[in-house]
């Protein structure tokens, strides 16, 4: 099946009521046939529903659809994008291990990596993703994974996924791609060598700014068997009668352990209600991403020609240093989140945002409503001025998330708000 068909049908196996729409299963527990049935489920001898912290039919429908759209062997839904990241890192690393990450990523993620996870002994090194060789130079015997965003938040830079994947394979480390900003319609990282794909489904997947969610999709491509750097995959797990994940589960070792070990213990399971809203949103993903991308390109072109604007960072502009990579990896469009820098600096950026009538100032993106944000004051405010400048965020930067309104109305609002700042 093609993408547009899968986004509607994948994961909905139907049920005894023959409901056309996937039902929302708001239940915590499931009754077992007898104590022997319960024992078999708990020891993983048989698969089935046990308790919603571990699995739920609505979440399973979402997980199946996510895996189908990205070409993975399985997926897991989490409370949000951050939970998906934390659980992924916990499923790969022990204290003392390292991950090499792109530096130009979501500010909240940098904070999570550089401060919070550091407290627990997982160490991140940050490199410029525009230089794939930097990942190799930062690799040590402690490195377990590389992490990049397929389109960087907020600067919309596009890393060369195939070049980084080649280095990951050579160094034998797991390649993780956060694909939140592109969505699987515009880019499928597994096709370019990613081992794991992470989402904040809160954004474009849900698409209407209602519920939080996150997900991990596993390509099943990384071989953990016999690798002493991944002891949790190769030593018996006493909580499942001595199961050795890499031996017993092969390609499904990561995604199974993520659920039966990490999700079981951390408990960051997605609410089935949120999973259901996300399934509804995903039915129209391709249509929305097309319009998001065409509206964003029109806005980027308008801004680039405006005298109050210093610079626009949108990879589908011919002036972008990422234009070639965007043509290769994002042939259908580059999504709708990017930054523009106002010539007048912080004051001009604030005046412009405050003058907008249709576009709202919001700390979210990927909504069908157009919104703006000043990253230096909000989403990236945890970072130092040096970190911000290193990423290319200046005081006059405004982040746009262009929605699905009529493009003439969007541009008219930008035009009137910019009048005051010229
Ligand atoms: C928002 C975001 C996250 C965090 O996701 P939540 O759903 O807010 O927890 C991670 N990565 C990127 C690229 C994001 O935009």
Q: What does the pLDDT profile of the chain (422 residues) look like in tens digits?
A: 999 999 999 999 778 899 999 999 999 999 999 999 999 999 999 999 999 999 999 999 999 999 999 999 999 999 999 999 999 999 999 999 999 999 999 989 999 999 999 999 999 999 999 999 999 999 999 999 999 999 999 999 999 999 999 999 999 999 999 999 999 999 999 999 999 999 999 999 999 999 999 999 999 999 999 999 999 999 999 999 999 999 999 999 999 999 999 999 999 999 999 999 999 999 999 999 999 999 999 999 999 999 999 999 999 999 999 999 999 999 999 999 999 999 999 899 999 999 999 999 999 999 999 999 988 778 777 778 788 888 888 889 999 999 999 999 999 999 999 997 97
Tokens of 255: 């995604």
C-beta of 200 in contact with ligand 1 (< 6 A): yes
Using alpha carbons only, give the angle 207, 209, 213 rounded to the nearest 5 degrees.
80
**DSSP 8-state assignment for residue 243:** B
Which pLDDT score, from 0 to 100, does residue 300 have? 98
C-beta of 206 in contact with ligand 1 (< 6 A): no
CB 204, CB 292: distance < 8 Å: yes
Q: Which residues contact 336 (CB under 8 A, 6 or more apart)?
A: 292, 293, 295, 296, 365, 366, 400, 401, 402, 403
Which pLDDT score, from 0 to 100, does residue 389 have? 82
CB 69, CB 357: distance < 8 Å: no
Which pLDDT score, from 0 to 100, does residue 14 have? 78
Distance 254 CA to ligand 1 centre (A): 22
Which pLDDT score, from 0 to 100, does residue 380 have? 78
Tracing tokens 């940098």 back to the chain, one arrives at 110
Q: Whose CA is nearest to atom 4 of ligand 1?
A: 81
C-beta of 107 in contact with ligand 1 (< 6 A): no
Helical axes 285-304 vs 407-419, angle rounded to 10° = 30
C-beta of 214 in contact with ligand 1 (< 6 A): yes
Which pLDDT score, from 0 to 100, does residue 223 have? 98
C-beta of 153 in contact with ligand 1 (< 6 A): yes
C-beta of 201 in contact with ligand 1 (< 6 A): no
Which pLDDT score, from 0 to 100, does residue 376 have? 79
CA 368 to each of CA 19, 139, 185, 203, 401: distance values in angstroms, whole numbers, following the listed order: 28, 40, 16, 10, 9
Instruction: Give the N- to C-terminal CA distance of the chain in Å, as an integer.
Output: 51
Residue 224, class by beta-carbon neighbours within 10 Å (0-12 exposed, 13-18 middle, 19+ buried)? buried
C-beta of 86 in contact with ligand 1 (< 6 A): no
Tracing tokens 């939080």 back to the chain, one arrives at 212
Mutate-to-test residue for ligand 1 from 152, 203, 266, 366, highest number of ligand atoms within 8 A of CB? 203
Which pLDDT score, from 0 to 100, does residue 112 have? 96
C-beta of 147 in contact with ligand 1 (< 6 A): no
C-beta of 150 in contact with ligand 1 (< 6 A): no
Which pLDDT score, from 0 to 100, does residue 110 have? 94
Distance 151 CA to ligand 1 centre (A): 12
* Widest CA span in the chain: 74
- What dihedral angle (degrees, nearest 10) is formed by the CA atoms of 180, 320, 333, 282? 10
Which pLDDT score, from 0 to 100, does residue 16 have? 86
Q: Compute the residue count for the chain.
A: 422
Q: Kindly tell me the sign of the dihedral angle through the C-alpha atoms of 23, 24, 30, 31.
A: negative
């Amino acid at each position: 099946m093609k993408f547009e068909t899968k986004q509607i049908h994948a994961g909905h196996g139907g049920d005894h009521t023959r409901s056309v729409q996937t039902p929302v299963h708001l239940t915590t527990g499931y009754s077992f046939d007898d104590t022997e049935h319960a024992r078999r489920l708990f020891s993983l001898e048989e698969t089935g529903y046990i308790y919603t912290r571990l699995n739920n039919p609505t979440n399973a429908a979402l997980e199946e659809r996510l895996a189908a759209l990205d070409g993975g062997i399985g997926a897991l839904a989490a409370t949000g994008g951050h939970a998906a990241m934390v659980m992924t890192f916990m499923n790969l690393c022990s204290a003392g291990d390292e991950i090499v990450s792109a530096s130009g990523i979501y500010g909240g993620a940098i904070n999570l990596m550089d401060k919070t996870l550091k407290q627990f002994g997982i160490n991140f090194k940050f490199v410029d993703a525009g230089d794939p060789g930097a990942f190799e130079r930062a690799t040590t015997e402690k490195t377990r994974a590389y992490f990049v965003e397929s389109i960087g938040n907020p600067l919309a830079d596009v890393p060369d996924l195939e070049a980084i994947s080649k280095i990951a394979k050579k160094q034998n480390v797991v390649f993780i791609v956060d694909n939140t900003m592109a969505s699987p319609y515009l880019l499928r990282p597994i096709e370019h060598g990613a081992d794991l794909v992470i989402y904040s489904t809160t954004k474009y997947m849900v698409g209407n700014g209602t519920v939080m969610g996150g997900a991990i999709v596993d390509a099943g491509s990384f071989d953990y068997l016999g690798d002493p750097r991944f002891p949790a995959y190769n030593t018996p797990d006493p909580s499942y009668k001595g199961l050795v994940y890499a031996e017993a589960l092969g390609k499904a070792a990561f995604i199974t352990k993520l659920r039966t070990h990490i999700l079981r213990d951390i408990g960051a399971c997605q609410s089935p209600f949120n999973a259901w809203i996300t399934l509804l949103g995903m039915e129209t993903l391709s249509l929305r991403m097309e319009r998001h991308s065409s509206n964003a390109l029109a806005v980027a072109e308008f801004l680039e020609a405006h005298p109050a604007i210093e610079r626009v960072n949108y990879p589908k502009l011919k002036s972008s240093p990422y234009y070639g990579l965007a043509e290769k990896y994002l042939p259908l469009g580059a999504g709708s989140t990017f930054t523009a820098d106002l010539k007048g600096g912080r004051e001009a950026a604030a005046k412009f945002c405050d003058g907008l009538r249709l576009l709202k100032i919001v700390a979210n993106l990927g909504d069908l409503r157009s919104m703006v944000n000043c990253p230096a004051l909000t989403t990236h405010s945890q970072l130092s001025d040096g970190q911000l400048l290193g990423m290319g965020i200046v005081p006059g930067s405004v982040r746009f998330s262009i929605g699905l309104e009529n493009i003439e109305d969007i541009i008219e609002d930008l035009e009137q708000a910019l009048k005051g700042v010229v």
